[in-house]
Amino acid sequence: MTKIITINSEKDFYMLKEAAQAVRDGKLVAFPTETVYGLGADGLNESAVRNIYRAKGRPSDNPLILHIQSPEEITPLVNEINETARKLMNRFWPGPMTLVFKKSKIVPDVISGGLDTVAIRYPENRIACELIRLSKTPIAAPSANTSGKPSPTKAKHVYHDLNGKIDYIVNGGDCDIGLESTVIDVTGKIPIILRPGKISLEDIRELFADAYYDKHLTEITSKPVSKPRSPGMKYKHYAPSGELYILDGSYEKIQEYLDENADDDTAFLTFNEYPINRKNVWNMGCIHSPIEGSKVLFDILRECDEKNMKKIYSVMPEKNGVGFALFNRMFKAAGGKIVNLW
């Protein structure tokens, strides 16, 4: 049985003691962060961490993020904190940023999927931080979804995927950002973005003009990546059951394409600027404000599944700033299927 603990305000924080004790006892506790819900366990307890992989059905070579709630907690987990890491930590922590360091000996191999590095994040969400503080251990947490499915941005998504497979769900309401954290390799002098997120390349370039996206992120290809730096990037991800296609073209061309290809069980994901007058339309807000689409994308993909949509056509988002993260998740959910209508 999965027990649900609902936290409406700081007055309810005392209820987190029970969840923290469960973490200390090696159990699995899902909890909210500002990005997506995480599936947490004691990051220094190997068998607890193994249970995370089991509950999600996650391949064991895909490493996990350790969550901390103060910058000092990082010291025992890593070999070295270089100047690059320090600058990023000072600017963006707590927040939706995960840094990849050379790991220390105390980090179990199950966390790092056999790599010599470890990913660490200090989230901003108050419930997440309080849970980590009370647990007195770094909490290992991937997104709390079944592997391959859209990440959970609401407690009900976690319940849908993991009810009966985990011990607790801490319900803290909807996640603010809706896409996972920006993952940055800081093992060298120049930060390399391994996964785009709300903290964008443009944000990072304010500190490091030469920061760049790892190659696999900029290659627009539907071929699976064979050996990416971030192992998670090689798997099909965020995928609804229906086939998602990203439509890249003018408003007129997209309309023509839909006239020819849409059926009764086709869903449409669009932006204010591309109104679509059909049934089964989901709006992702202003196309120039991709933070709006980021917040709702995963929920929309799950709703498309609930409504048994067989095909999903999405208008191409803008690819700068946070838009690149939105595009990245859509591209993965679509298995790389972009229809070029230009």
**How are the residues of the chain apportioned to helix, strand and coil, as percentages rounded to the nearest 5?**
35, 20, 45
Residue 129 binding partner per list Mg ion, ligand TXA, none, with a CB distance cut-off of 5 to 8 Å that depends on partner kind: none
Q: What are phi and psi of 106, to 5 degrees?
A: -75, -10
For residues 17 and 26, what is the distance between their CA atoms, to the nearest angstrom? Answer: 14
Closest approach, Cβ 10 to ligand TXA, in A, equals 21
Residue 40 binding partner per list ligand TXA, Mg ion, none, with a CB distance cut-off of 5 to 8 Å that depends on partner kind: none
Closest approach, Cβ 38 to Mg ion, in A, equals 9
Binding of residue 45 to Mg ion (CB under 5 A):
no
Binding of residue 143 to Mg ion (CB under 5 A):
yes
Residue 155 binding partner per list Mg ion, ligand TXA, none, with a CB distance cut-off of 5 to 8 Å that depends on partner kind: none
CA distances in angstroms from 5 to 8, 25, 169, listed in the order given: 10, 17, 6
**Of 84 and 112, CB closest to Mg ion:** 112
**Contact positions vs ligand TXA (CB under 6 A):** 33, 35-36, 38, 62-65, 98, 100, 112, 115, 117-119, 121, 141-143, 180-181, 183, 194-195, 229-233
Stretch that binds Mg ion, among 65-73, 113-121, 135-143, 293-301 (CB under 5 A): 135-143
Which of positions 241-280 make contact with Mg ion (CB under 5 A)? none
**Of 232 and 321, CB closest to ligand TXA:** 232
Binding of residue 147 to Mg ion (CB under 5 A):
no
Region of residue 26 (left: phi > 0; alpha: psi -120 to 50; beta: else): left
Residue among 42, 38, 39, 21 at smallest CA distance from 108: 42
Beta bridge partners of 139: 42, 67
What amino acid occupies position 88? L
For residues 143 and 31, what is the distance between their CA atoms, to the nearest angstrom? Answer: 10
Closest approach, Cβ 297 to ligand TXA, in A, equals 14
Stretch that binds Mg ion, among 8-16, 65-73, 138-146, 320-328 (CB under 5 A): 138-146
For residues 340 and 342, what is the distance between their CA atoms, to the nearest angstrom? Answer: 6
Q: What are phi and psi of 182, to 5 degrees?
A: -70, 125
For residues 2 and 13, what is the distance between their CA atoms, to the nearest angstrom? Answer: 19
Q: Which ranges in 240-289 belong to alpha helices (H)?
A: 251-261
Binding of residue 35 to Mg ion (CB under 5 A):
no
**Of 143 and 187, CB closest to Mg ion:** 143
Residue 294 binding partner per list ligand TXA, Mg ion, none, with a CB distance cut-off of 5 to 8 Å that depends on partner kind: none
Closest approach, Cβ 98 to Mg ion, in A, equals 11
Placement of tokens 């904190």 in the chain: 81
Binding of residue 200 to Mg ion (CB under 5 A):
no
Stretch that binds Mg ion, among 59-67, 78-86, 97-105, 136-144 (CB under 5 A): 136-144
Residue 270 binding partner per list ligand TXA, Mg ion, none, with a CB distance cut-off of 5 to 8 Å that depends on partner kind: none
Residue among 74, 108, 79 at smallest CA distance from 93: 74
Placement of tokens 């690149």 in the chain: 324
Q: Which residue has the CB atom at the shortest distance from ligand TXA? A: 232
Placement of tokens 């059951």 in the chain: 241
**Of 276 and 301, CB closest to Mg ion:** 301
Residues that bind Mg ion (CB under 5 A): 143
